[in-house]
């Protein structure tokens, strides 16, 4: 396990007196799907935000693709290859579905100080955008406003947008949040497809999803990683059972 795509070392972040992230060290290896699980309030979203740059850590360091990125702002981390989906659905509601993805592609094609040509008729945007939408099963809804999508479809759109930034690492913040069983199943299949080509850090509550998708799992409790290992190792870990799985089993 030498090739870390992402390595976070001794990350700390506190809000007032609460240590949301408490000395977290986490490594994501190229090609793996690494899941982070933990009970509510364990600091999972905070961790994702630290990694993508939406929040700055109080201390510790983050290395991505051989580069220290502690002080790199969000939009630049995105260009380095760190893409994020949001726990609370965050798409461009007022715009067409295809425009959501096209904007993510456009960001990869250099600056957008282009004032004249009609972006909606630019095939360099629309063709790849439709490809990404097809990957998440939304190609048929491309020209509807994002607002008209169901919750599950918006989650799928999130993934398409993250993919369209051409990431080396996908940070997925509870992609199944708020989904019904059918929608979750669709999402699991989508992610299983993506897993073949993308490295992922998956934060998720849905244990079916985690144990289906993850190569390795880290367990986060009260801001600390209490265990990291393969799904089997995590199932058998006593500390994890007590802290987390035990609650559900009981």
Partner 1 sequence: MTDAPLQPIASPAKSERKGIVRTASGIAALALLLGLSLAAHYSGNGFYLDLATRLTILAIAAVSLNLVLGFGGMISFGHAAYLGIGAYAVGIPAYYDINDGFLQFSLAIGVSAVFALLTGAISLRTKGVYFIMITMAFAQMAFFTMISLDEYGGDDGLTIYLRSEFPALDMEDNLTLFLVCYGSLLVVLFLVNRLVNSRFGMVIQGSKSNDVRMGAIGYNTYVYRLTAYVIAGAICGYAGALYANFSSFISPDTMAWSRSGELMFMVILGGAGTLFGPLFGTAVFLLLEETLSRITIHWNLIFGVLLILSVLFMKGGISGLIGGKERDDG
Residues that bind partner 1 (CB under 8 A): 52, 54, 73-75, 78-79, 83-84, 86, 90-96, 98-99, 102-104, 106-108, 112-120, 122, 130, 134-145, 161-162, 164-165, 186, 189-190, 193
Q: CB of residue 230 vs partner 1: minimum separation in angstroms?
A: 27
Q: CB of residue 15 vs partner 1: minimum separation in angstroms?
A: 18
Cα–Cα distance, 202 to 51 (Å, whole number): 12
Q: CB of residue 101 vs partner 1: minimum separation in angstroms?
A: 9
Q: CB of residue 245 vs partner 1: minimum separation in angstroms?
A: 29
State the pairing for strand pair 199-203/82-85.
Answer: unpaired
Q: CB of residue 70 vs partner 1: minimum separation in angstroms?
A: 17
Are 166 and 158 within 8 A, CB to CB?
no
Task: Tell me the torsion sign for CA atoms 224, 54, 17, 178.
Answer: negative
State the pairing for strand pair 224-229/33-37.
Answer: unpaired
Of 201 and 240, the one with the shorter C-beta distance to partner 1 is: 201
Of 8 and 83, the one with the shorter C-beta distance to partner 1 is: 83
Quote the crossing angle between the two packed helices 123-135 and 181-195, to the nearest 10°: 120
Of 40 and 117, the one with the shorter C-beta distance to partner 1 is: 117
Of 147 and 235, the one with the shorter C-beta distance to partner 1 is: 147
Of 51 and 227, the one with the shorter C-beta distance to partner 1 is: 51
Closest CA to 126 of 111, 109, 150, 114: 109
Of 2 and 113, the one with the shorter C-beta distance to partner 1 is: 113
Report how many helices (DSSP H) and strands (DSSP E) the chain contains, helices first: 10, 10
Of 57 and 157, the one with the shorter C-beta distance to partner 1 is: 157
Tokens matching residue 66: 């051989």
Q: Coil, strand or helix: which one is 144?
A: coil
Q: What is the CA radius of gyration of the chain?
A: 18
Number of neighbouring beta carbons within 10 Å of residue 122: 16
Q: CB of residue 56 vs partner 1: minimum separation in angstroms?
A: 14
The residues pairing with 217 across neighbouring beta strands, listed in sequence order, are 35, 229
Q: CB of residue 16 vs partner 1: minimum separation in angstroms?
A: 22
Q: Look-up: residue for tokens 């977290």?
A: 24
């Amino acid at each position: 396990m030498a090739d870390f795509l992402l390595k976070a070392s001794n990350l700390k972040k506190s809000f007032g007196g609460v240590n949301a992230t408490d000395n977290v060290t986490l490594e994501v290896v190229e090609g793996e799907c690494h899941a982070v699980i933990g009970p509510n309030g364990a600091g999972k979203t905070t961790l994702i935000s630290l990694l993508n740059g939406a929040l700055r850590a109080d201390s510790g360091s983050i290395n991505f693709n051989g580069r220290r990125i502690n002080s790199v702002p969000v939009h630049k981390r995105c260009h380095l290859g760190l893409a994020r989906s949001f726990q609370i659905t965050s798409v461009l509601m007022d715009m067409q579905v295809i425009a959501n993805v096209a904007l993510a592609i456009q960001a990869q094609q250099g600056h957008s100080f282009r004032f004249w040509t009609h972006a909606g008729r630019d095939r360099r945007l629309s063709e790849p955008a439709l490809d990404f939408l097809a990957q998440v099963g939304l190609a048929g809804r491309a020209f509807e406003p994002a607002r008209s999508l169901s919750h599950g479809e918006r989650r799928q759109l999130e993934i398409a947008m993250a993919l369209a930034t051409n990431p080396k690492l996908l940070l997925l913040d509870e992609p199944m949040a708020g989904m019904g069983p059918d929608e979750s199943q669709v999402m699991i299949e989508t992610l299983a497809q993506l897993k073949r080509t993308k490295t992922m850090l998956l934060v998720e509550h849905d244990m079916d999803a985690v144990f289906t998708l993850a190569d390795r799992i880290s367990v986060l409790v009260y801001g600390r990683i209490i265990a990291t290992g393969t799904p089997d190792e995590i199932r058998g870990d006593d500390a994890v059972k007590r802290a987390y799985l035990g609650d559900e089993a009981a």
